[in-house]
Structure 1
Amino acid sequence: MKLRSACLVALLFTTPAFAVDPTGIAECDALLKRYEECSGELPPAKVHAAQKELLEGAMSLRANADDPKLRPALERFCVDTLAAMKAQSDIKACMSK
């Protein structure tokens, strides 16, 4: 039982990919998908924080995606964030693919 629990914990902390539900905003879905794919390339100490940020960001985007007043700003935010991550993040090579 201890070995099984240890294996599950190890799997949890070493598996960088997990599915993020779509936000309904194409630009934001592209950003989240790329970030999800690339977060595993971060140093191990940063992966958990990156995945937490990814999930929190996705929840916030989904919560606001249906507001027609916010949607254009969210689209711009996601485009600008992806461009910034391609230019100057720890995972810029992966984000640029």
Structure 2
Amino acid sequence: MKHLISLAAVLLCTTPALAVDPTGIPICDTLLKRYEECSVELPRANIHAAQKELLEGAMSLRANAANPELRPSLEKFCADTFEAMKASSEIKACMAK
């Protein structure tokens, strides 16, 4: 659960423009891809740290995706995070496309 909270902070606070490898969880992959595409609209402060955090969050998702006990929680987390970003993030218009 700690990884899920960290990923939420990463997704809501980062500004990277880089390629993220697939996690194997379709909704999480869609979220990460859309976030990557839309993140260029965020302020560029602290981009190096943001890129690192996004990659670490994606790595955490990939590492936990194969665990059948965690997978449903990860799917729900990504779906909820995606919807929250569409509704209230700085890049909500882009995320909602």
Whether the TM-score (by the shorter chain) exceeds 0.5 is yes
Offset at residue 49 of structure 1 (A): 4.3
In the TM superposition, what whole-angstrom CA distance separates every residue of 1:18-47 from its partner, at most 9, and x where no partner exists?
Answer: 211100000100000001101111012154
2:20 corresponding residue in structure 1: 20
**Cα distance change on mapping 1:36 and 1:57 into 2, 3 Å:** same
TM-score by structure 2 length? 0.77
Alignment of 1:1-97 (within 5 A): 16-45=16-45, 47-97=47-97
C-alpha separation between the residues in 2 aligned to 1:38 and 1:54?
13
Cα root mean square deviation, aligned: 1.4
Max Rg structure: 1
Count of aligned residue pairs for this structure pair:
82
* SS of 1:45 mapped into structure 2: coil
* SS of 1:69 mapped into structure 2: coil
C-alpha separation between the residues in 2 aligned to 1:64 and 1:58?
10
1:51 counterpart letter in structure 2:
Q
The answer to whether the 8 Å contact 1:20/1:33 transfers is: yes
1:10 corresponding residue in structure 2: none
C-alpha separation between the residues in 2 aligned to 1:33 and 1:65?
17
The answer to whether the 8 Å contact 1:36/1:54 transfers is: no
The answer for unaligned runs of 5 or more in structure 2 is: 1-15
TM-score by structure 1 length? 0.77
In the TM superposition, what whole-angstrom CA distance separates every residue of 1:37-71 from its partner, at most 9, and x where no partner exists?
Answer: 01111012154444333212101000100000000
C-alpha separation between the residues in 2 aligned to 1:33 and 1:73?
19
The answer for unaligned runs of 5 or more in structure 1 is: 1-15
Query: Taking CA–CA contacts closer than 8 Å with sequence separation of 6 or more, which of the two structures ends up with the larger relative contact order?
Result: 2
